[in-house]
């Protein structure tokens, strides 16, 4: 009896122990399961965070690639230049322009003549804006030419184009224009000019008589063309229309240095075209100098007849303030162009000093006199950084 009761108590104890153990096992399993869920949750959160961070990096790379594409587009646009040639009359401009007309098809650009009403060299404020807006928005690359004074694109909020210009010795230009009005030229030899009936009067005789179309004030043209559309560029006293402004001369010089891409001289048009081949992008003037050298159109509009000017006439003009200012601008441009040409072709004389010139071609250019160094980040580091970003 005693052993039976004791056996029953032991069974009860074992049962209790088994229940407790079972409860502990279940509790441990629940704890382990909960821990597993937490671990998985942490892994999911980490994966999401990594995915988000990865996307931001990829977005960064995508934006960089997009920026690179935009830069490429910008570079391509820069290869489509807008060139403005506000040509001064009787400076060899027809010969220069015909080089552009001859090359436009081969070098893939447009040539457009700007015909200003009434042969005026000035435009109204609104016409200036319309011209700036039209030329900026229309198809490029393009070469615009016409007899008008410099127009400041930046004044109207537009990017400055490539302005180019040619100047000639002031008195030579006026004498050429004087005889051009009387005898015409070889470009349109049968056209009767407005001064044809006065063809018997030489320039010297006109100066001696005080004629209206051989006055020193008529030299005042190259300065205002480079100065611009301001009243002070053209006349020093209004409304008497008296030319000869010192301010206009200095403004023209500033524009030569700051606004024009390249200003050359008629007497060195071949060298000028060589320089344009280098500084105008997109190959607009590719082979221009060689074409000019061998083309039959290289020297168009040569005045049909001219008489040499006497020393007395030359001296009289040299004493005038207008000639002195115009000649100062011409001498300034001559020096600047000779300096630029000598730096570009150091082994070739520009011909200004009377030395013998060497026949030079653009293909003979020497390597650049500068190099890039100490470049950071280094290409190897940049490549490693990029590959690391993709791995993460």
Q: What is the CATH number of the domain that holds 118?
A: 3.40.50.300
Domain that holds residue 335: 81-346
Domain assignment present for residue 1? The answer is: no
CB within 8 Å of 194: residues ≥ 6 apart: 181
pLDDT at 196 over 70: no
Contact 171, 325 (CB under 8 A): no
| DSSP state for residue 242 in the 8-state scheme | B
Domain assignment present for residue 41? The answer is: no
In this prediction, residue 304 carries a pLDDT of: 59
Burial class (CB in 10 A: 0-12, 13-18, 19+), 383: exposed
Residue 140 exposure: Cα atoms within 13 Å on the Cβ side: 19
Confidence of residue 24 (pLDDT cuts 50, 70, 90): confident
Q: Residue 42 and residue 52: Cα distance in Å, rounded?
A: 15
Q: Residue 297 and residue 299: Cα distance in Å, rounded?
A: 6
Contact 306, 176 (CB under 8 A): yes
In this prediction, residue 1 carries a pLDDT of: 53
Domain assignment present for residue 162? The answer is: yes
pLDDT in tens, 245-268: 999 999 999 999 999 999 999 999
Q: In angstroms, what CA-CA distances link 134 with 297, 330, 334?
A: 30, 31, 33
State the average pLDDT over residues 313-333: 98
Contact 358, 271 (CB under 8 A): no
In this prediction, residue 17 carries a pLDDT of: 73
In this prediction, residue 57 carries a pLDDT of: 40
In this prediction, residue 346 carries a pLDDT of: 86
pLDDT in tens, 55-104: 444 344 344 445 544 554 454 566 799 999 999 999 999 999 999 999 99
Domain assignment present for residue 190? The answer is: yes
More confident residue, 78 or 20: 20
Domain assignment present for residue 31? The answer is: no
| DSSP state for residue 237 in the 8-state scheme | B
Among 281, 160, 147, 115, CA closest to 222: 147
Domain assignment present for residue 367? The answer is: no
In this prediction, residue 49 carries a pLDDT of: 46
Q: In angstroms, what CA-CA distances link 242 with 170, 201, 246?
A: 18, 26, 13
Nearest-5° Cα angle at 330, 165 to 305: 80
State the average pLDDT over residues 361-374: 81
Domain assignment present for residue 284? The answer is: yes
pLDDT in tens, 265-282: 999 999 999 999 999 999
Q: What percent of the chain has pLDDT over 90?
A: 56
Q: Residue 101 and residue 142: Cα distance in Å, rounded?
A: 11
In this prediction, residue 356 carries a pLDDT of: 45
Average pLDDT, rounded, for the chain:
82
Burial class (CB in 10 A: 0-12, 13-18, 19+), 62: exposed
Q: How many separate domains does the chain show?
A: 1
Tell me the catalytic residues: 145, 147
Domain assignment present for residue 250? The answer is: yes
pLDDT at 16 over 90: no
């Amino acid at each position: 009896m005693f052993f039976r009761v004791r056996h029953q108590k032991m069974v009860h104890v074992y049962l209790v122990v088994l229940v407790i153990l079972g409860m502990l096992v279940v509790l441990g399993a629940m704890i382990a399961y909960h821990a597993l869920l937490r671990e998985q949750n942490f892994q999911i959160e980490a994966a999401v965070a990594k995915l988000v961070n990865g996307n931001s990096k990829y977005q960064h790379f995508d934006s960089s690639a997009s920026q690179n594409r935009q830069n490429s587009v910008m570079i391509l646009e820069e290869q489509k230049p807008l060139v403005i040639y506000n040509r001064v009359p009787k400076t060899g401009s027809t010969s220069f322009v015909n080089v552009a007309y001859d090359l436009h098809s081969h070098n893939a650009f447009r040539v457009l003549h700007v015909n200003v009403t009434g042969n005026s060299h000035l435009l109204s404020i609104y016409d200036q804006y319309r011209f700036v807006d039209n030329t900026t928005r229309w198809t490029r690359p393009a070469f615009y030419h016409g007899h008008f004074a410099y127009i400041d694109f930046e004044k109207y909020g537009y990017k400055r184009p490539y302005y180019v210009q040619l100047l000639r010795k002031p008195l030579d230009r006026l004498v050429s224009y004087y005889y051009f009005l009387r005898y015409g030229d070889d470009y349109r030899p049968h056209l009767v000019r407005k001064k044809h009936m006065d063809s018997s009067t030489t320039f010297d005789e006109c100066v001696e008589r005080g004629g209206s179309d051989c006055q020193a004030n008529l030299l005042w043209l190259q300065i205002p063309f480079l100065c611009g559309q301001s009243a002070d560029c053209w006349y020093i006293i209004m409304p008497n229309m008296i030319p000869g402004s010192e301010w206009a001369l200095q403004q023209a010089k500033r524009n030569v240095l700051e606004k024009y891409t390249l200003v050359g001289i008629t007497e060195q048009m071949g060298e000028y075209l060589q320089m344009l081949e280098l500084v105008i992008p997109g190959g607009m003037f590719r082979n221009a100098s060689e074409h000019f050298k061998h083309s039959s159109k290289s020297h168009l509009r040569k005045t049909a007849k001219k008489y040499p000017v006497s020393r007395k006439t030359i001296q009289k003009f040299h004493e005038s303030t207008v000639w002195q200012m115009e000649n100062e601008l011409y001498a300034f441009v001559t020096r600047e162009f000779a300096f630029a040409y000598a730096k570009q072709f150091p082994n070739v004389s520009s011909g200004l000093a009377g030395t013998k010139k060497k026949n030079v071609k653009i293909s003979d250019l020497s390597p650049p006199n500068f190099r890039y160094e100490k470049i950071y980040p280094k290409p190897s580091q940049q490549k490693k950084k990029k590959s690391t970003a993709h791995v993460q």
